[in-house]
Amino acid sequence: MSMLPPTGKPLAIGAVDLFCGAGGLTHVLVRCCMNVSAGIHLDDSCRYPYEANNPAIFVEQDVKYLSATVVRTLFGDAPLRLLAGCAPCQPFSTYSRSGRKHNSDNDWELVASFGRIVREVQPDFVTMENVPQIEHHPVFEDFLGNLSDYHATWTSVECTSIGVPQTRRRFVLLASRLGLEELHLKLENKATNTVRKAISRLPALAAGEADIRDPLHVACRLSDLNLKRIRASKPGGTWRDWKPSLRAACHRKATGETYPSVYGRMEWDQPAPTITTQCFGYGNGRFGHPEQDRAITLREAAMLQTFPRNYLFVKEGEKVKFSGLGRLIGNAVPVRLGEVIAEAFRRHAEHALQK
């Protein structure tokens, strides 16, 4: 188990993690000495990483059909209860809009279901992490309607400001039935974390190679043409640096001018771009390694998401599937952001219990 060492004394907080994914948020809640009993997610591929890295059970369940009774049972007799959730945010994702219409209320069913569970269970604390645009959508107003008995605060966080080595802006809501004292995120200005600090010590690989000691440190193969393209790419540069013969058909169109980062390399001494579910593919964004002729590996993507270096994602001997693991990693709450959220509730609970 790759648990980070706990910090501080155990708290009387029981937690349930909705939309738990691979378990990064659970990981830091446990590290902050909370008793996370379960993570809930519809995708059973999350089960292994969730349970292998955390002392909690994985419940395969569609939150739309999750009953309040089940959630109350999972909380057990915890004196204080925290309900955490990051409902998927495909309606605002530029990577999910192609070929889709976004006028359906079904896009928001999971956020609405999260609000319903809050209303029916009435936990002591609630946190929601999502895309910043949600604050300006009617679904957020409806969610706040379920928090009428709570004190709530929310903010948009640029993750580089808290030490995450990627540019990623996220919305975070914190709510408590016990007031607002000490319930805030500590967004201290730290030295910018960079790609170099995050991944430079990992073994070098060529495209298509894997580290025999770490199945997650594996790079996608590249075609001969893409090998030529990445060798012609400069860190922080664009496809405009290439000879015309290397440019893709889309680059020759006027619309291609709006995608300068596609087929780009990261820069060692800057944060990475936002890690997406397709970050293992060289042509999917600025996901080229700063100096090795390949896209970043799944392990590098996980570390840029601030998962611990030894966080387990696949069983020993199991085949690594790029698309499935890319989805788990790209959709995850950056673990460092989860840590800041957990620390806020820890301070708040300690303050409340001292009264």
- Residues with a catalytic annotation lie at 89
Residue 35 CA to residue 227 CA, distance in Å, equals 48
Burial class (CB in 10 A: 0-12, 13-18, 19+), 18: buried
CA distance 195 to 79: 42
Nearest to 219 by CA among 317, 147, 292: 292
Question: Residue 227 is encoded by which pair of tokens?
Answer: 């090998």
Are the beta carbons of 271 and 160 closer than 8 angstroms?
Answer: yes
With contact defined as beta carbons under 8 Å apart, do 247 and 255 qualify? Answer: no
Q: Could you give the count of Cα atoms lying within 13 Å of 138 in the half-sphere of its Cβ?
A: 5
- The Cα 213–Cα 3 span in angstroms is 19
Residue 274 is encoded by which pair of tokens? Answer: 């936002």
3-state helix, strand, coil in the chain (%, to 5): 35, 15, 45
Closest CA to 132 of 274, 237, 13: 274
CA distances from 111 to 88, 107, 135, 317 (A): 8, 9, 12, 37
Q: What six digits make up the tokens of 296?
A: 């970043």
Residue type, 120: E
Structural contact between residues 170 and 131, judged by C-beta atoms closer than 8 angstroms = yes
